[in-house]
Amino acid sequence: MGANNTLLIDCGNTYLKWCLFDGDDLTPQQSEYHKDTSVLETFKDIVDSQAEICDSIVMVSVLGEVFLAGAKKIAEDANLSFLEASSKAKLASISNGYQEPEELGNDRLVAMIGAYELFDYLACIVIDSGTATTIDAVDETGQHLGGVIFPGFELSLNSLNSDTKQLPKFDSSTQKIEANGLATETNEAMASGCLLGLASAIDGICNKMHHQLQLKSFQPSVNVKRVICGGGSKALLKHLEGDYEYYENLVMLGLKKIKEDSIKND
């Protein structure tokens, strides 16, 4: 890879995820946990480590305007051009379905772009399960029909842990959930309930969205792809009953498309 690489960065509530794009290929996605440090310091460390082989940054963020201003300054100091992917009525190949387009989470829109490109413009349902779980439906024309947001696994479990003082605590870093979901002690039962409940919710919502996509389709029988990403995805996959494909770098694929479009429009 040469000095004209683009640094693609997904700035989430818990992790900064990133990779490089050389105009053709993506490097493997990497991530940095930032809950225990300054997120701008973590961002700067990533930029500084790649600045010599990059000429630009394309970023999507859910971290607000103060972080955005700091990220722009870090990019400027490193002599890198900077592009933020933000929600609007149409971005790349996706038409935003929100009544107020800017209210749609930036990362959700970018993930939809990645999925739509990945599946060669087929209708798709995009699930991102992290701190929160989001599910969005996109038809075969690239029109976003809308979506839902509900708590992810950790939020659901933390709600039980904080509001039920007499129940034990489940530590997901050291304790395991039985593969069949059938727990034989209380804190494992709480965790298993949250995980199976989340999987069932995803299946049920996706079934409803699948039906809506079929009703709206211009084809007699529409092929709908279900794709899942996010930190909680691997734990969920074995409990999902539908046909889902897992891509950890879905947001990176969306940022790649946005970068390619920016080059065409220059």
How far is Cα 247 from Cα 115, in angstroms, rounded to an integer?
9
Nearest to 66 by CA among 47, 39, 87, 86: 39
- Please identify which of the residues 24, 36, 45, 107 carries the catalytic annotation: 107
Residue 237 in contact with residue 228, Cβ under 8 Å? yes
Cβ-in-10-Å burial (0-12, 13-18, 19+) of 190 comes to: buried
Task: Give yes or no: 107 in active site.
Answer: yes
Give the ranges where 51-171 is alpha helix by DSSP (H).
64-77, 106-118, 153-163
Nearest to 181 by CA among 132, 126, 241: 241
Q: Which residues are part of the catalytic machinery?
A: 107
